Structures are given as structure tokens and as C-alpha cells.
Amino acid sequence: MYIKKQISFIEKQIGNEVCLVAVSKTKSESEIMEAYNCGQRVFGENKVQELVSKQNNLPKDINWHMIGHLQRNKVKYIAPFIDLIHAVDNIKLLKEINKQAKKNNRKIDCLIQIKISNEESKFGMEYKEALELISNVNTSGFENINLTGFMGMASNTNNQDILKHEFSLLNNFFKEVKQTNKNLKKISMGMSNDYLLAIQCGSNMIRVGSNIFGSRN
């Protein structure tokens, strides 16, 4: 019941324009099914092995998102089914995704992860590097990739000013770059502790785990 209550609460808060990615990492298949049974279809995972095994066992109309750092040698395992890869942060990875997508005769949607926080541990590209990657994609035949937007992880802080600053910078970048790149439609930012602020700052895709499923061990 907890999961159902949380999902309907969050859905009322965010409305129809924002996509809710239910982050189910470390959570059991029965917990995922509880969310599924109240209509949730988009789930995010951050480990390839866990993602593959859940995809294998659970209903086929689930849209699986890879939200974590992705190693090149693991792309092949998720390429047959993945709906969106959130955290592309280098061209070699994008080349591999393109290659594996081609093998599976499909196009894979990807977001570029931008480093919006100054924290050492966060992955992602600088704004300038991201622009280079986009122009590369536009000119060098990544036929099996759809670059559809950006993802950012804000600092691990409760300081609203810092969070707002980081989200707003990414949103400004998004708004500017999408004027000349019509495929860019998604901006994935906001997690359990900061999704309302992220939406105020322009997010249209939030990744919420503990607020739906309870805290992780």
C-alpha cells in the first residue's frame, strides 16, 4: 500500500507533463510489481546485471531506463530492450551504443549527462564537451542513436540556492541548445529530495527512488 500511496501522491504533485521514472535499484521484483499494478511503467536501474535479470522476469511492457554510469563492455546486454540511457558522458560509449543498437536493428534514445555539481564523485560532461559531442553526432552518422536531451545530478545538499543554481544552469543550456537541435526534448533532473525544485527549474523527467519504495540499505 505504501508504494501505491507514494506514486499517486507524486503524480498529483507533478501533473502530466513530467515523466516519473521510478528508481527501483536494489528493490525486489514484487515491489516493482506493486508499482506496476498501479499503472507505473517507467523504471530506472543503475546496474546492468540487475537490470537484465529484472527485465527478463517482469512484464514486457515496462520501459526500462539505465540511469547509472554505463561501461562500454556492458552495453551489449541492455541494447536489445533499453528504452532510454540517461548517462552518456563520452563519445566512445556513444559509438558502442550505436554499434549495439545497429546489431539489434533498433534506435536507442540517449541523454547526455552533464556535470552540474562540483562534487568530485559525480560523472558527466562539461557544457563545452557536450556541445562537441552533439555536433559530432549530427555530422558523423550515428544512425542508431537518438540524442533526446540531458541529464544532471545536483549536489548532495539541502541548500536550495545551490540546487536551484545547478538546475537552472542546465535548464538554460537545454533551452539554448534545443533551438538548433529539435530532437532535444528531455531534461532529466530531480530525485527524491529535490524533484519539486527541479521541476520549478524546468525538469520534465524526474528519477525518484526512496520516496516511492522507501529507503535503501
Binding residues (CB under 6 A) for ligand PLP: these are 23, 25, 46, 67-68, 153, 191-193, 207-211
| Smaller CB separation from ligand PLP, 173 or 195 | 195
Neighbours of 86 (CB within 10 A): 27
168 or 210: CB nearest ligand PLP: 210
CB of 208 to ligand PLP, least distance (A): 5
Yes or no: say if 33 and 58 are a contact pair by the CB < 8 Å rule.
yes
Which is closer to ligand PLP, CB of 111 or CB of 144? 111
Q: Residue 26 or residue 104: which is nearer to ligand PLP going by CB?
A: 26
- Smallest distance, ligand PLP to C-beta of residue 209, A: 3
Residue 212: CB minimum distance to ligand PLP, A: 8
Which residue is at the shortest CB distance from ligand PLP? 209
- Nearest distance, CB of residue 23 and ligand PLP, angstroms: 4
DSSP string, the chain: -HHHHHHHHHHHHH-SSSEEEEE-TT--HHHHHHHHTTT--EEEES-HHHHHHHHHHS-TT-EEEE-S---GGGHHHHTTT-SEEEEE-SHHHHHHHHHHHHHTT--EEEEEEE--S--TT---B-HHHHHHHHHHHHHTT-TTEEEEEEEE---S---HHHHHHHHHHHHHHHHHHHTT-TT--EEE---TTTHHHHHHTT-SEEEESHHHH----
Q: Is 115 or 207 the residue whose CB approaches ligand PLP more closely? A: 207
Taking the complex as a whole, the smallest distance from the CB of residue 45 to ligand PLP amounts, in Å, to 9
Q: From the CB of 182, what's the least distance to ligand PLP, in Å?
A: 26
Identity of the residue, 79 or 111, whose beta carbon is nearer to ligand PLP in the bound complex: 111
